[in-house]
Amino acid sequence: MASKLLTKSKFLYGIQCPRLLWISANQPDLIPQPDAATQFLFDQGQQVGELAKQLYPDGIDVSQDSFMDNINKTKELLALRKPLFEAGVMAGRLFSRTDILNPVNDDEWDIIEVKSSTEVKEINIHDVSFQKICWEESGLKVRNCCLVYINNKYVKNGKIDPEELFIAEDISERVEEISDSARERIYEVLRTIGEPDCPEALIGACCSAPYECALMGNCWAELPEHNVFTLYYGGKKSCALYDNGIVEIVDIPDSYKLSDKQQIQRSCVTGNNVHVDKESIRDFLGTLAYPLYFLDFETFNTAVPLYDGTRPYQNIPFQFSLHVQEVPGGHLNHYWYLAGGDDDPRPGLVSALRHYIGGNGSIVAYNKSFEENVLKELAAAFPEYTGWINSILSRFVDLITPFRNFSYYNPLQQGSASLKKVLPAITGSGYDGMKIAKGDDASLAYLEIAFGNISDEKIIEIRENLLAYCGLDTEAMARIVEKLRLLL
């Protein structure tokens, strides 16, 4: 059997998890296709990469369908001493491509890696280190290594300016520091992919760092419902428990140090009961002043800003849902806004919101800091609304409070205070059956109708799904408040 090639992506898999590495090399069909949200991130990265090429206007694109064609084309073009995009190199069993290979001096080159993130991450250093080893093993002289990433303070004004959009940081010293350990890891990774049997699953922090593992759903499938990784803010504690053979929350020893909230969770799971702190819930409900305005925004963010006056990864609101209840137990009136077309959705949204929100009463949001931050950015972008927005910010009440404080806890929440977990736990119904059931899906759906090439019928269908999803978010909050009242 021919020796398997080690690519950069597989090398990075090896840093995260030997099982992921082995399957990617030996049974790649078992790696699930990326979901829509993950694919969107990949597409964002490709767009960022294309923009970064504009930093080197005399550069040459080496991209080829076949990796051998890419390698051979690279060899031809190196003699031209021009910046090369997607240059490929093979050194023994190692293969890598480099975003930008830039000539310097008479015989040296700089490796320039482009990322859609807004900072240098540790995994980026390993990424570039592997590339450097590949090039040096092939005989190329590498002078410096650089990471080009997004400047999140850049504000779009007309056509995107790559010189302003990107920050370039020299990471040569950091790459050199791990050079020896990177070579050792390469040998370990090559041994792993050559093993006849797949390594056992390693469940723990590595499943979500530096990225959420594509095999997580498979490896975690056999964990019980109330496993230690559902422990509220378990973190390292959950990993330590699992590593010591404690898989279920009910098996955590009484002597093991848990926070007050974690103790409530263990007690509820062990006794299969719901924890209710009536006094705390009564205090929370006492902060609500009618009429109540249950508010939820849907937003999208992109690495490359779409509208003038916006920044990379800024949350751009395109939809809101507002349920209004005049008195406890009263009828819910529903108001909403969903932008149409591809223009900046914010002016129409903030205008509509001011029209529907009255001058008194509590504005109820779930995890209110998100809605508050959206409003603050709207105030900064549209000064004519600043006074009104500042006047309503003090009226916000956060519905997550009694659940984050464990004033109410149901084992069905599985250690989470999120709306998606709390709603079915306290009301018995949730988001099952919804065509759009997550914020990420809502964002992608809006971008599809605003910028995609789809039929009018499809646009109508997606808009209906968006309205149903966002509407349920605010209706859910109203139903939760009513359920809390019934507990007293």
Q: What is the pLDDT of residues 251-274, one digit of tens each?
A: 999 999 999 999 999 999 999 999
Q: List 7's β-bridge partners, or say none.
A: 95
Confidence of residue 1 (pLDDT cuts 50, 70, 90): very low
Tell me the percentage of the chain whose pLDDT exceeds 90.
96
Number of Cβ atoms within 10 Å of the Cβ of 132: 22
The DSSP result for 385-434, as a single string, is GHHHHHHHHTTEEETTHHHHTTSEE-GGGTT--SHHHHHHHHHS--STT-
439-458 in b/e burial notation, b at 16+ Cβ within 10 A? bebbbbbbbebbeeeeeeee
Residue type for position 428: G
Q: Do the Cβ atoms of 228 and 44 come closer than 8 Å? A: no
pLDDT at res. 141: 97
pLDDT at res. 95: 95
Give mean pLDDT, residues 17-35.
94
pLDDT over threshold 60, residue 2: no
Q: Do the Cβ atoms of 371 and 470 come closer than 8 Å? A: no
pLDDT tens for 455-488 read 999 999 999 999 999 999 999 999 999 999 999 9
- Provide the mean pLDDT of the chain: 96
Distance between CA atoms of residues 260 and 263, nearest Å:
5
Distance between CA atoms of residues 93 and 71, nearest Å:
13
pLDDT tens for 194-221 read 999 999 988 999 999 899 999 998 999 9
Peptide bond connecting 317 to the previous residue in cis, omega within 30 degrees of 0: no
Confidence of residue 152 (pLDDT cuts 50, 70, 90): very high
pLDDT at res. 106: 87
Distance between CA atoms of residues 441 and 438, nearest Å:
5
Tell me the percentage of the chain whose pLDDT exceeds 70.
99
In the block, tokens 């051998």 appear at 68
Higher pLDDT, 318 or 201: 318
pLDDT at res. 67: 83
Spell out where 190-269 has E strands. Answer: none
Confidence of residue 63 (pLDDT cuts 50, 70, 90): confident
Distance between CA atoms of residues 451 and 341, nearest Å:
8
Give mean pLDDT, residues 50-60.
97
pLDDT tens for 95-133 read 999 999 999 988 999 999 999 999 999 999 999 999 999
Give mean pLDDT, residues 423-445.
94
Query: What's the gap between Cα 479 and its chain centre?
Result: 29
pLDDT over threshold 80, residue 18: yes
pLDDT over threshold 50, residue 225: yes
Enter the DSSP assignment of 29: G
Q: Which of 488, 487, 484, 482 is nearest to 331 (CA)?
A: 482
Give mean pLDDT, residues 20-32.
95
Confidence of residue 431 (pLDDT cuts 50, 70, 90): very high
Distance between CA atoms of residues 134 and 152, nearest Å:
32
pLDDT over threshold 50, residue 314: yes
Spell out where 226-383 has E strands. Answer: 275-276, 292-300, 316-325, 332-338, 363-365
